[in-house]
C-alpha cells in the first residue's frame, strides 16, 4: 500500500489496518500530520472511530473552534492564499466523491502507484494521493523531499516501471532544469497554479511527457482536468470538468461549481462563497463550446488605470513571449485617487535584458496605458510550496508607505 522511498518503511493494506486498530482514536477530532506512513494510519483511525479528520501541515495546530455538527467527516484548512485560513467541513459522501471523480477522470489504477512529493495534508495531495490509496487501492510511494537530488535518488531505488506524479509548476520547472524528471512517470499532473505553455512544451519536447493541467479548490475538490495527449496551445484552458462536476459562470463571469464533492460549508462561520451545495469562486471564466473551462484571472486582480480596467494576465502573457524573460508577475500598485493604480511588473529575466528593452518590446504589442510604469527585477520569482505567487503580498511590498 505505502512505501517510504527515503526511509525504506512500507506497509500493506492489512498492516495499515492493524496499526489503526491498535491505536483507536478516542478524541473527536483526529489530526493527520507529516509525510509518512503515520499520516495514512491517522486517516484510518479517524474513519474507523467515526471521528472528524483534520489534515494539518507540519507545524500547524488545531484552530480554536467549536465542535463541528454531527455528520462532519473531514475539516480542511484553506491555504490562506486569498485571505485568512479557515476551516471547511465535508461529509463522508462529499469527501469520497472527490476521490472517485479524480480516479475516474484521470484513469488512476492500482497497477500504477502515485509518487507522493506534494503535501499529504493539502487538499490537492489529500485528494490525489490519500483518497485513491485508501478508497481505490492505488499504492503510494512517498518521497521525503522535492529537492532534485532527493527525487532522483529515491526513484532510482523504486521497483515500479510506471508511476503517476502530481506536482506544481514550480517543482516541474526545477526538476526540468535539473534533468531529474523520472523516466518511469507515465502520468504527470500539474496543479496549484497556472501551468505555463512554455514549461508544458519543454517537458514534452525533452521527455515526451505530457503535463496534464488540473484545476481544483479546497472548497469543492477537483474541478477541471486536461486529458489531452499533446501540449495545449491556449494557456488559459484549465481543462474539462471532472466526472460528476458541474461548472458555470455567474452574472459577474466568475466560476460556480456544483456536484457531490462540494463542501458543506465554512466552519464555524458560514459564508456566501460556499452555501447550498454551490461553490462560488472569484476566478473569472469562459466556457468553451466544447465544454472546456478557460481561466481569465481573479476578479479582485483587475488593475484600475485611470478608470480603465486591465487584466494583469494580458501583460504577463506578452512579457513571457520575450525570449529573455523567465517569469513575470503584473499587478496594480495604488498611486492616487485620480490616476488609480500604477501598473507594476515583477520580472525574472536574463541579465542582458534591460527594463527599457522590455518596455519597448511591450510597446509594440500593447496600448500605452497598459505598459508597466514600475519595474522590479528579481533573481528568482519564488512561488510558495503550493506553486502560488501572491499578488497581494507583492502589492504590499511595492506600495508606497502610508
Model confidence band, residue 396 (pLDDT cutoffs 50, 70, 90): confident
So what's the pLDDT on residue 119?
A: 95
| Mean pLDDT computed over every residue of the chain | 91
The pLDDT-based confidence of 81 (bands split at 50, 70, 90) is very low
Is the pLDDT at 309 greater than 70? The verdict is yes
Whether residue 122 is predicted with pLDDT greater than 60 in this model: the reply is yes
What is the predicted pLDDT for the residue at 363? 95
Angle of helix 197-207 relative to helix 169-178, nearest 10 degrees, comes to: 40
User: What's residue 84's pLDDT?
Assistant: 61
Stretch 28-53: mean pLDDT:
94
Please enumerate in sequence order all residues whose Cβ is within 8 A of that of 7, keeping only pairs 6 or more positions apart, or say none: 36, 144
Banded pLDDT at 82 (limits 50, 70, 90): very low
CB 313 within 8 A of CB 296: yes
Q: What is the DSSP string of 42-62?
A: HHHHHHHHT-EEEEE-TT---
Q: Please report the sign of the dihedral spanned by the C-alpha atoms of residue 201, residue 202, residue 203, residue 208.
A: positive
Q: What is the rounded average pLDDT of the residues 135-159? A: 94
Angle, alpha carbons 282-285-286 (nearest 5°): 165
Q: Quick one: what percent of the chain has pLDDT higher than 90?
A: 74
Q: What is the pLDDT of residue 387?
A: 58
Quote the percentage of the chain above a pLDDT of 70. 96
Least confident among 70-84, 129-143, 158-172: 70-84
> Of 15, 5, 11, 35, nearest to 159 (Cα)?
5
**pLDDT range class, residue 154, cuts 50, 70, 90:** very high
Res. 384 pLDDT band, cuts 50 70 90:
low
| Arithmetic mean of pLDDT, 1-28 | 90
d(CA 92, CA 80): 24
**61, 85 Cβ separation under 8 angstroms:** no
Residue 386 has a pLDDT of: 52
Residue 340 banded pLDDT, cuts 50, 70, 90: confident
pLDDT recorded at residue 239: 98
Phi, psi (rounded to 5 degrees) for 93? -65, -40
Residues 72 and 50: their CA atoms lie apart, in Å, by 9
Quote the pLDDT of residue 324. 93
Alpha helices in 263-365 (DSSP H): 312-319, 355-363
pLDDT digits 0-9 by tens, 185-236: 999 999 988 888 989 999 999 999 999 999 999 999 999 999 999 999 998 9
389 or 34, greater pLDDT:
34
Q: Which of 344, 388, 245, 224 is nearest to 294 (CA)?
A: 224
Cα dist from 390 to 60, 330, 386, whole Å = 21, 11, 11
How much is the pLDDT for 286? 94
The predicted pLDDT at position 298 comes to 76
Residue from 77, 84, 64 nearest 119 by CA: 77
pLDDT digits (tens, 9 = 90+) for 268-308: 999 999 999 999 998 889 999 999 999 987 777 778 887 77
Amino acid at each position: 500500500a505505502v512505501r517510504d522511498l527515503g526511509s525504506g518503511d512500507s506497509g500493506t493494506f492489512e498492516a495499515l489496518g492493524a496499526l489503526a486498530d491498535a491505536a483507536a482514536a478516542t478524541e473527536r477530532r483526529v489530526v493527520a500530520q507529516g509525510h509518512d506512513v503515520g499520516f495514512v494510519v491517522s486517516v484510518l483511525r479517524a474513519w474507523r472511530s467515526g471521528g472528524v479528520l483534520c489534515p494539518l501541515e507540519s507545524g500547524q495546530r488545531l484552530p480554536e473552534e467549536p465542535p463541528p455538527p454531527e455528520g462532519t467527516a473531514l475539516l480542511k484548512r484553506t491555504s490562506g492564499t486569498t485571505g485568512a485560513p479557515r476551516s471547511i467541513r465535508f461529509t463522508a459522501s462529499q469527501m469520497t466523491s472527490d476521490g472517485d471523480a479524480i480516479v475516474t477522470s484521470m484513469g488512476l489504477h492500482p497497477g500504477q502507484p502515485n509518487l507522493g512529493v506534494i503535501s499529504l495534508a493539502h487538499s490537492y495531495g489529500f485528494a490525489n494521493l490519500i483518497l485513491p490509496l485508501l478508497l481505490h487501492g492505488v499504492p503510494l510511494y512517498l518521497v521525503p523531499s522535492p529537492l532534485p537530488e532527493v527525487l532522483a535518488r529515491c526513484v532510482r531505488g523504486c521497483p515500479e516501471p510506471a508511476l503517476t506524479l502530481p506536482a506544481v509548476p514550480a517543482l516541474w520547472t526545477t526538476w526540468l532544469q535539473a534533468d531529474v524528471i523520472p523516466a518511469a512517470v507515465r502520468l504527470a499532473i500539474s496543479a496549484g497554479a497556472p501551468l505555463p505553455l512554455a514549461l508544458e512544451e519543454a517537458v514534452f519536447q525533452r521527455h515526451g511527457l505530457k503535463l496534464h493541467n488540473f484545476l481544483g479548490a479546497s472548497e469543492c475538490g477537483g474541478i477541471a482536468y486536461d486529458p489531452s495527449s499533446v501540449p495545449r496551445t491556449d494557456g488559459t484552458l484549465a481543462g474539462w470538468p471532472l466526472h460528476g462536476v458541474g461548472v458555470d459562470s455567474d452574472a459577474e463571469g466568475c466560476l460556480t461549481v456544483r456536484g457531490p464533492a462540494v463542501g458543506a460549508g465554512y466552519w464555524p462561520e458560514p459564508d456566501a462563497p460556499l452555501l447550498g451545495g454551490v461553490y462560488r469562486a472569484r476566478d473569472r471564466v469562459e466556457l468553451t463550446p466544447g465544454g472546456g473551462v478557460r481561466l481569465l484571472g481573479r476578479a479582485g486582480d483587475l488593475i484600475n488605470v485611470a478608470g480603465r480596467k486591465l487584466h494583469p494576465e494580458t501583460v504577463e502573457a506578452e512579457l513571457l513571449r520575450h525570449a529573455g524573460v523567465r517569469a513575470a508577475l503584473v499587478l496594480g500598485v495604488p498611486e492616487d485617487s485620480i490616476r488609480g493604480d500604477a501598473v507594476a511588473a515583477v520580472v525574472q529575466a536574463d541579465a542582458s535584458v534591460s527594463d527599457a528593452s522590455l518596455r519597448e518590446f511591450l510597446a509594440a504589442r500593447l496600448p500605452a496605458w497598459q505598459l508597466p510604469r514600475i519595474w522590479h527585477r528579481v533573481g528568482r520569482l519564488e512561488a510558495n510550496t503550493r506553486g502560488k505567487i501572491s499578488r497581494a503580498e507583492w502589492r504590499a511590498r511595492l506600495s508606497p508607505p502610508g
